[in-house]
Amino acid sequence: MFQNNSNLAESLHTASGETPVIPAPRSSPLPPLQDTFGRTFDYVRIAVTDRCNLRCTYCMPEEGVEFRHRDEMLTAEETLRIISVLAKVGVKKVRFTGGEPTIRKDIVNLVAGAAATPGIKGVHLTTNGLLLHRYAKDLLDAGLTGINVSLDSMDTDRFMRITRRPGVDTVLNNIKLALDTGFQRVKVNAVFMQGFNEDELERFTEYTKDHAVTVRFIEFMPFDAEQIWSTGDHFTSAETIVARIKARYPDIGPAPGTRTEHHTFKVPGYAGKIAVIPAFTRSLCGNCSRIRVTADGSIRNCLYSDDEYNLRQVMRQGGSDDDMIALFRKAFADKAIDGYEAKKRSDAKVDITQLHRGSMTQIGG
């Protein structure tokens, strides 16, 4: 774990050999990042790539999507600068997302840099788990706090059908490896899709019997690059998922969960927990605390809003930290009350210059 900025700077020598400048923390904290509804945004989900080694049917087609050019992607230094700037306005939690973040060869350094940033209390990673065995120990040593592994089926053929790639055993082994390596917060994200994996609710819940993980059933969302959402066949509401869980496990009890884990339960005597996330029903917007930064450096104030604020441009045009903070404040002053209003505003605005990110891999989840 890095003790001070000079060690961090040394370890982050860029390919060009320059030592990035890590700004010293300010004396007095700046006002937190808030919207006009009084919500405070202290959690950033920052995408570090739009590429992925899977092709999930609820995310992108086999041929992929319009991936951004390498020059448009945030560099490691830019990513860490964004984190240190956000820490000045009260951000405490960082989640690295993608695409698939572990395809970045410098993912351990990114985690180390985030963990060493003054003010940051927790660094998390969302991964499909396929490459986790390469980095688990190094990520833990670098200060990673928690891992969310995306796994929508435990069945070999079905995994292949959903992801268009093999690998279910590797992912399951890597979840176990994360626990054995010593990660205290290991979660399994399963997108719940009617006609795909709804009959695995019990299998996933039974997985928590001996594994101290939180299995989170997530409502299907319309960020699939126009593949299957439009059929309307696959959506199941959080309410229905909860009802099915309670029907199968009548003695299940409530358990503590995070702001997003709207419904969290524990089967008596089981090591782990299960949770249900109303990601499409959007009944959690009142608690929203999320900032999103895409891999190409755009700020998004809501998953369902197409409004974007070009942070990369500010940075590459020599903008100061205050300029960056001003852009974040603008983005959140514009934030809608919930994901429905955000979507309505975006649909009403026909701005052909605005990149419509139809796939979750382009947004960063």
Contact between 160 and ligand SF4 per CB under 6 A: no
Token pair, residue 331, equals 């983005």
Footprint on residues 169-198 left by ligand SF4 (CB under 6 A): none
Contact residue for ligand SF4 among 298, 338, 358, 364 (CB under 6 A): 338
The distance of closest approach from Cβ of residue 230 to ligand SF4 in the complex, given in angstroms and rounded to an integer, is 20
Question: What DSSP character marks residue 40?
Answer: B
Per CB under 6 A, 339 contacts ligand SF4:
yes
Judged by beta carbon, residue 211 or residue 300, the one nearer ligand SF4 is 300
CB atoms closer than 10 angstroms to residue 319: 16
The yes or no reply on residue 284 touching ligand SF4 (CB under 6 A) is: yes
As measured in angstroms, the least distance from the Cβ of 220 to ligand SF4 is: 14
Q: Hey, which residues between 32 and 91 contact ligand SF4 (CB under 6 A)?
A: none
Q: Distance between CA atoms of 357 and 302, rounded to whole angstroms?
A: 13
Residue 308 in tokens: 């974007």
DSSP string, 288-349: --EEEE-TTSEEESSTT----EEHHHHHHTT--HHHHHHHHHHHHHT--SSHHHHHHHHHH-
Query: Does 290 engage in binding with ligand SF4 (CB under 6 A)?
Result: yes
**Residue 167 found at the interface with ligand SF4 (CB under 6 A):** no
Strands 263-266 and 273-277: antiparallel
In the complex, the smallest distance separating the C-beta of residue 310 from ligand SF4, rounded to whole angstroms, is 19
- Which CB sits closer to ligand SF4, 174 or 346? 346
Establish how many alpha carbons lie within 13 A of residue 280's alpha carbon, considering only the half-sphere containing its beta carbon. 17
**By CB under 6 A, is residue 219 in contact with ligand SF4?**
no
From candidates 342, 361, 362, 365, binder to ligand SF4 by CB under 6 A: 342
Q: Return the range that interacts with ligand SF4 (CB under 6 A); candidates 58-66, 117-125, 167-175, 277-285.
A: 277-285
Residue 172: both structure tokens together: 């399951």
Angular region, 269: left φ>0, alpha ψ -120 to 50, beta rest: left
The pattern of x and - marking residues 298 through 337 that bind ligand SF4 according to CB under 6 A reads ----xxx---------------------------------
What is d(CA 54, CA 64) in angstroms, rounded to the nearest whole number? 10
Given the rule CB under 6 A, which residues bind ligand SF4?
282, 284-285, 288, 290, 302-304, 338-339, 342
